[in-house]
Each structure stands twice: as C-alpha cells, then as structure tokens.
Chain A
Amino acid sequence: MHRFANPARFLRLARWLTLPCLVAGIVITAAALAWGLFSAPADYLQGDSVRILYLHVPAAWLGMWGWGAIATASFVELVWRHPLAAIGARAAAVPGAFYTALCLATGSLWGRPAWGAWWVWDGRLTSMLVLLFLYFAYMALADAAGRDGDGTSRIPAIFGLVGAVNIPIIHFSVIWWNSLHQPPSISMGKSAMADDFLYPLLVSVVGFTLIFAGVVLARMRAILAESQAEARLRRKAMSEDIA
C-alpha cells in the first residue's frame, strides 16, 4: 500500500486502469441489466417488480462500500498522513452519494407495488437516508477544507471515521427492528436466493463496482491534476513577484 502512496506512481497506474474499468463496467452492467430485464424470471410473490433488484441491491452496496472506502481512507490519512488517502476519500464521496440516492429512489419505486407505500420511516430506510445526509455533510466539509484551509484540515477525515458508525446500523437494522424491508438474502458465503435471481445480481454487482472504481479513479486524477495546476500557477506567480 505504501508503494502506491506516491502520487506519480499512483497516476501511472490510474491512467492505465481508469478507461478499462469504465468500459468493462459499462459492458458488464448493460449485460446484467438486460439479463435481469428480459431473461430472468418474475418472482411468484412480487411479480415483475423484482427486476428492480438488479439496480437496487448494487446501488445499496455501493452506497455503503463508498462510505467504507471514505472511512478506511480517513483512517489511513489520520494515522499515516498519506496524501493520496485524503484524495481517495474525497473522490469516493460523489459516486457514494449518487448510489445511495439511487438506492433510495429505486427502493421507493419497488416499495409502491410491493408494500403499497413509497416510503416508510423504518430502521433500514431511515438509516439509508441518514447515510445520504452524511455524504452531503462530508462533501461540504471537504469542499470547505480545500477552499478555505491550507489543505491540511483533518476534520473531514474525523467526520469520515465517525460517520462509519451508521454502516453497521444500516446492515443490522432489519434484524434489530421490525421492518417492511426483508432481511438480508445474501450473507458471507450463503444465499437464500434462487440461482435464477442470484447470477444476474452478482454480474450486476461486478459491473456497477467496476463503474464505481473507474469513477473514483477519474475523480482522484481530477483532484490531483487540479492541485498540481494550482501549485504550478502559485509557484509561477511567486517567481514573477520576486523578479
């Protein structure tokens, strides 16, 4: 990990990986969504609305993994002061917030035919909405730290770590409290799902994860390039002032 903390080395790897991640992600996701939409069977209880699963579940996982990435990078930033960790955390915020919002929107569209309600204030839905607000707060803090500070503020990293408390709450909410939301169908090495639903879901998760990785790499390259351009322009302005 320390090897890739060097921005130049990371950039060489990121330039090589960004486009393949995005292209492979788009192809695999398109195939998985077509599979889920046209080939996978309808559920005997939920009917065709079960097809929302192939969007909703990857979006939910990526929303949670996005914050997991922020928390891990924040820990690395606070403990080892790796400059790339802070950039990685900031890069994961927008795609993480997007997939959390997509999870809430697709969940609402699924809830209407399945439960007869667009929204219920139960543990799972509320903790997921809290996650979206945490993303907004993190983005505002990171933006303020970059704009007003000298780039060394640790406040976004501390917030990223503290906000991780919400991830186990989201995961266990359907076990701890009564909920319309079903309990997890997939856990470590076990699945209660029929293969007809499971395989397109796993392919969809792989596709969306590759897209997420490609977007995070592109965001990291953009943030690095912006800071390098700023530094160069500042150095140039200082040398002109001295001259």
Chain B
Amino acid sequence: MREALDHWDYVISAYVLGVIGTTVLIGWAWLTMRRAEARRDRARDK
C-alpha cells in the first residue's frame, strides 16, 4: 500500500533548516569578525 505523504511537511522542514542555518552562519561570521577587530584595536591601543 502506498504511503500518503504531505509534501509541505518536507518543504517547511527544508526551509526552516535553510533559514535558521543561514542566519546562524551570518550571525557567527559577523560576531567573530567584530570581536577579532575589537581585539586588534585593543592590542593597538595598549
């Protein structure tokens, strides 16, 4: 017997994964960049 699958469950799961993952990637890259540049500026001021 063929299983009835709701395609939207898979579509929404993929979009949630993609959107959350990309947001985390951007946030992580931005924050690590800002922290590294602040550390460099502090080292310059010392």
Contacts and interface: CB of A to CB of B under 8 A. Distances in A.
Interface of A: 18, 22, 26, 29, 33, 37, 46-49, 51-52, 55-56, 59, 94-95, 98, 102, 105-106, 109-110, 112-113, 116, 208, 211, 214-215, 218-219, 221-223, 225-226, 228-229, 232-233, 236
Interface of B: 3, 5, 7-8, 10-11, 13-15, 17-19, 21-22, 25-26, 29-30, 32-33, 35-37, 39-40, 42-44, 46
Given A211-B26, A222-B33, A37 B11 contact: yes
Chief secondary structure at chain B's binding surface: helix
A94 B26 CA distance: 11
Given A47-B7, A222-B32, A33 B37 contact: no
Contacts of B30: 22, 218
A164 B2 CA distance: 42
Contacts of B8: 48
A168 B21 CA distance: 27
Given A215-B26, A215-B29, A221 B18 contact: no
Chief secondary structure at chain A's binding surface: helix
B29 to A, nearest CB: 4
B10 A225 contact: no
A22 B11 CA distance: 25
A237 B36 CA distance: 19
A48 B6 CA distance: 9
- Of all A-B residue pairs in the complex, the 4 with the closest CB atoms, nearest first, are A225-B36, A218-B29, A48-B7, A232-B43
